[in-house]
Amino acid sequence: MTQQSASKINQTKTVLLIHGAGSVGAEWVNFKNQLTESGFEVIIPTLRHHQIEGVNPKIGDLSLNDYILDLKDLIGNLNEKPIVIGHSMGGLLALKLCALNLTKMGILITPAAPKGINAISLSVLRIFILNIFRWKFWKRPVPPRYKSARYGVLHDLSENRAKEVFELSNSAESGKALCEIGFPFFFKNCPTEINFSGYSCKTLLIGCGRDRITPISIARKLQQLMGKNCEYKEFSTFSHYIMEGEEFTHVFNECVNWIQKNQPLKD
């Protein structure tokens, strides 16, 4: 993770944005700009060993627990609990932080599946099929592949724009972390397990009907597990990448309106 100052960070109205698998967080730029204009302090960490140039061989055997540990350390250097917003795998990490009572509120945008919800669909298999047949894929780096990103995440963008987005944000991902999401039953004390009976954090859950990498069934089943602490919003015509254009406008407005409704902001 990008290093933070060892001293306490003096911030108010803090929003922590957590990126998804195979990214470095550059796709959050529109969220960052609009949140900053709205008076928020925004933090966008890059998860451990994620980088655009080359593949760090140490990333392959990282667990989601390693990402959680880094995020807990970051939050420990804040003067207040942050509002956490996570996208995709970042949505699952945000859910874990909320369950640990480390956040003020949580927003999960097209989150990856926790244990108990099937993460594997035909579209997901198509995206990751080449990696599954690699020797010891569960502890090797998963390199970024444009064709997979184009099909699974960026299919609503023009070819030129899809390539630009990919070049700005792509990173290798941990094979172990992806397996913890896709095959949680292989892991004792799997980090994707959530104690929903003790969950109390106010949470907004956003699902997208044309999502190929975290299919809408995940968000719908997660809503049922979360119960009264979760408000659910579904955009039936949107796909996974909601970071720009009409998708961004609607999702961002939904997020800010929900935050203001649940905790009025003061100057």
Indicate the fold that domain 14-260 takes in CATH: Rossmann fold (3.40.50)
CA distances from 74 to 24, 47, 49, 238 (A): 16, 11, 16, 32
Does residue 225 surpass a pLDDT of 60? yes
Instruction: Report pTM.
Output: 0.92
Pull the structure tokens for residue 50. Answer: 């994620």
From CA 83, how far away is CA 51, in angstroms rounded?
25
More confident residue, 195 or 124: 195
Amino acid at 83: I
Model confidence pLDDT, tens digit, residues 92-119 = 999 999 999 999 999 999 999 999 999 8
CA distance linking residue 176 with residue 184, whole number of Å: 10
pLDDT of 134 reads: 67
Q: Which position has the higher pLDDT, 261 or 135? A: 261
Per-residue pLDDT averaged across 214-225, rounded? 96
Composition of the chain by helix, strand, coil, percent to 5: 45, 15, 40
* Closest to 112 measured CA to CA, from 102, 100, 121, 122: 121
Angle between helices 64-76 and 175-182 (to 10 degrees): 100
Render pLDDT for 156-209 as a digit per residue (tens, 0 to 9). 999 999 999 999 999 999 999 999 999 999 898 999 999 999 899 999 999 999
pLDDT at 227: 86
Domain boundaries, the chain: 14-260
pLDDT tens profile 126-144:
777 666 666 577 788 999 9
Encoded tokens for 127: 């995206």
Confidence of residue 12 (pLDDT cuts 50, 70, 90): low
